[in-house]
């Protein structure tokens, strides 16, 4: 799942930071916050983050941020047509693109250090001077609609959408950041331009850079390219997460070879003292689910659990299975075990070591570093990423039990698959956490 991938990035790149000799710093350049992590790698990654995410637009415009940000790198700029922009990116092996999530959007550029000037030129053009050319926008629209329809047919993605709809109904997170084909179909180039100009605000954005460049060079480039951006009042949204203390199930019938089940639970925010202990507890739950559902009982080929850290954070248990009732019963039983007596001091040491080593090996790229620092900044402060390795080592078993019992007081479920098997699992979905 995409959000699970983003969550792994947060942990993984924080571990990378712990092994690096360089130090992350943050500074102001003409009213723009810049977060900088020098590295020894010959790759530079730059991200312009736009705060707010789904709070920036009404549900009737779902997908407008994703569409607008993608258009900045796909539909040409004042200096380059769309074709010329793409040709220059290809010539210098520059990767440039965007994403839009629940809490933020970004424009990202990744290039070799020796082509940093050329990469920065395209990046600055995309941020400052997108033109939203009519023909290019139409081509991009068709591409986005195709992607949305493909996601609708992807059971893994669709099951994720269902669980969020079930859990966050009535909140901004009920809005899908990618939108729907109906909404994307009616957004005009003028709509995209107006929206983008609205979020192009020094007080709403910040820049994260990682790579083998000097701080002086970076400051000069930021000042030259972005000093003239508008500065308008902006207050970052704050949300109150709904409390899931019931056992509501949202189902959708579909003919599939297997059935997809998600269970969602409350989680502490990143700046909570319970955050790290809870994260390790959920990691332990993921291992327990894999061991029981796949290794011992052969009930699933893809079980697990993960924390998803957003302004309204949550954790997921997930499984794909031909035996939903049995799988749900085991999922709830394993959750209760981990909440209460499923982890020893020795097991915690092993979990910490495995957790740190695996994620350090996975996430060593500059792109992963800027993702880590940027998401941490959105959620409370980039320092959270650098502090995480030390905090992991301090966690105790009792802290894990306290955190998990404090926040996990119920479950919301989604079920995608055979309706008869879903109905047969009805009582299992009502099993209580304790």
Mean pLDDT of 10-14: 42
Question: Do residue 105 and residue 156 come from a single domain?
Answer: yes
Q: How far apart are CA 211 and CA 351, in angstroms?
A: 31
Mean pLDDT of 153-179: 92
- Domain range for residue 124? 2-226
pLDDT tens, position by position, 111-154: 999 999 999 999 999 999 999 999 999 999 999 999 999 988 89
* Residue 13: pLDDT over 50: no
Question: Do residue 174 and residue 274 come from a single domain?
Answer: no
Question: Do residue 262 and residue 219 come from a single domain?
Answer: no
Mean pLDDT of 221-241: 94
User: At 282, which CATH number?
Assistant: 3.30.830.10
Mean pLDDT of 206-228: 97
In a domain, 236, yes or no: no
Question: Do residue 399 and residue 265 come from a single domain?
Answer: yes
Q: Per mean pLDDT, which range of 103-107, 115-119, 294-298 is the poorest?
A: 294-298
Q: What is the mean pLDDT of the chain?
A: 90
pLDDT at 363: 55
Q: Predicted confidence band at 358 (pLDDT cuts at 50, 70, 90)?
A: low
Supply the DSSP symbol for 212.
Answer: S
In a domain, 138, yes or no: yes
pLDDT at 343: 77
In a domain, 314, yes or no: yes
Q: Which of 226, 261, 282 lies at the terminal end of a domain, its last residue?
A: 226
Question: Do residue 406 and residue 303 come from a single domain?
Answer: yes
More confident residue, 306 or 357: 306
Question: Do residue 332 and residue 220 come from a single domain?
Answer: no
In a domain, 218, yes or no: yes
Give me the torsion for CA of 4, 6, 8, 10, rounded to 10°.
-140
* Residue 6: pLDDT over 80: no
What's the angle, vertex CA 289, arms to CA 288 and CA 290, rounded to 5? Answer: 90
In a domain, 235, yes or no: no
In a domain, 50, yes or no: yes
- Contact by Cβ (8 Å): 85, 121: no
Question: Do residue 189 and residue 255 come from a single domain?
Answer: no
pLDDT at 344: 76
Counted domains in the chain: 2
* Residue 361: pLDDT over 60: no
Query: DSSP readout, 363-415?
Result: --SHHHHHHHHHHHHHHT-THHHHHHHHHHHH--HHHHHHHHHHH-S--EEEE
pLDDT at 422: 94
Question: Do residue 256 and residue 304 come from a single domain?
Answer: yes
- Contact by Cβ (8 Å): 199, 355: no
Mean pLDDT of 71-97: 97
In a domain, 233, yes or no: no
* Residue 19: pLDDT over 80: no
- Contact by Cβ (8 Å): 68, 195: yes
Please state, in angstroms and as integers, the Cα–Cα distance from residue 201 to each residue in 190, 258, 380, following that order. 19, 47, 19
In a domain, 89, yes or no: yes
Q: Which long-range contacts (C-beta less than 8 Å, at least 24 apart) are formed by 111-119?
A: 111/43, 111/44, 112/42, 112/43, 112/44, 113/42, 113/43, 113/44, 113/211, 113/212, 113/213, 114/42, 116/44, 116/211, 116/213, 118/88, 118/92, 118/94, 119/44, 119/46, 119/92, 119/94
Q: Which of 211, 226, 241 lies at the terminal end of a domain, its last residue?
A: 226
Q: How far apart are CA 110 and CA 367, in angstroms?
A: 7
Question: Do residue 420 and residue 285 come from a single domain?
Answer: yes
Q: Which of 226, 258, 286 lies at the terminal end of a domain, its last residue?
A: 226
* Percentage of the chain lying above the pLDDT 70 cut: 93
* Residue 15: pLDDT over 60: no
Mean pLDDT of 320-331: 96
pTM: 0.90
| Range among 14-18, 120-124, 291-295 rated most confident | 120-124
Question: Do residue 37 and residue 142 come from a single domain?
Answer: yes
Question: Do residue 189 and residue 285 come from a single domain?
Answer: no
Question: Do residue 253 and residue 400 come from a single domain?
Answer: yes
């Amino acid at each position: 799942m995409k959000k699970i991938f983003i969550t792994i990035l947060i942990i993984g790149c924080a571990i990378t930071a712990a092994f690096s000799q360089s130090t992350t710093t943050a500074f102001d350049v003409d009213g723009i916050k810049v977060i900088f992590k020098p590295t020894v790698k010959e790759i530079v990654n730059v991200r312009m983050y736009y705060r707010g995410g789904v709070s920036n637009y009404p549900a009737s415009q779902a997908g407008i941020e994703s569409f607008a940000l993608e258009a900045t790198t796909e539909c040409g700029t004042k200096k380059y047509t769309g074709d010329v922009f793409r040709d220059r990116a290809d010539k210098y092996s520059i990767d440039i693109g965007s994403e839009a999530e629940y809490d933020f959007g970004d424009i990202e550029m990744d290039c070799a250090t020796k082509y940093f000037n050329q990469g920065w030129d395209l990046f600055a053009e995309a941020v400052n001077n997108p033109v939203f050319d009519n023909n290019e926008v139409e081509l991009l629209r068709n591409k986005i609609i195709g992607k949305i329809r493909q996601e609708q047919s992807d059971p893994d993605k669709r099951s994720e959408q269902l669980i969020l709809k079930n859990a966050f109904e009535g909140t901004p997170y009920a809005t899908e950041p990618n939108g729907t084909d109906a909404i994307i179909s009616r957004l005009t180039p003028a709509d995209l331009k107006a929206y983008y100009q609205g979020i192009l605000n020094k007080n709403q954005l910040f820049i994260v850079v990682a790579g083998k460049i000097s701080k002086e060079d970076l400051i000069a480039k930021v000042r030259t390219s972005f000093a003239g951006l508008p500065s308008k009042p902006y207050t970052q949204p704050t949300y109150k997460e709904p409390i899931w203390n019931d056992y509501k199930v949202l189902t959708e019938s579909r003919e599939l070879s297997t059935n997809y089940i998600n269970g969602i639970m409350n989680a502490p925010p990143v700046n909570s003292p319970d955050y790290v202990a809870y994260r390790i507890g959920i990691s332990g739950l993921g291992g327990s689910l894999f061991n029981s559902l796949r290794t011992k009982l052969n009930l699933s080929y893809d079980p697990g659990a993960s924390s998803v850290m957003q302004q309204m954070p949550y954790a997921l248990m997930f499984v794909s299975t031909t035996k939903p009732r049995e799988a749900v019963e085991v999922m709830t039983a394993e959750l209760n075990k981990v909440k209460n007596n499923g982890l020893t001091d020795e097991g915690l040491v092993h979990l910490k070591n495995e957790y740190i080593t695996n994620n350090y090996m996975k996430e060593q790229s500059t792109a992963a570093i800027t993702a880590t620092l940027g998401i941490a900044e959105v959620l409370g402060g980039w320092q959270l990423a650098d502090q995480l390795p030390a905090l992991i080592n301090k966690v105790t078993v009792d802290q894990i039990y306290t955190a998990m019992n404090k926040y996990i007081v119920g479950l919301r479920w989604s079920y995608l698959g055979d309706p008869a098997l879903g109905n047969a699992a009805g009582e299992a979905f009502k099993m209580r956490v304790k």
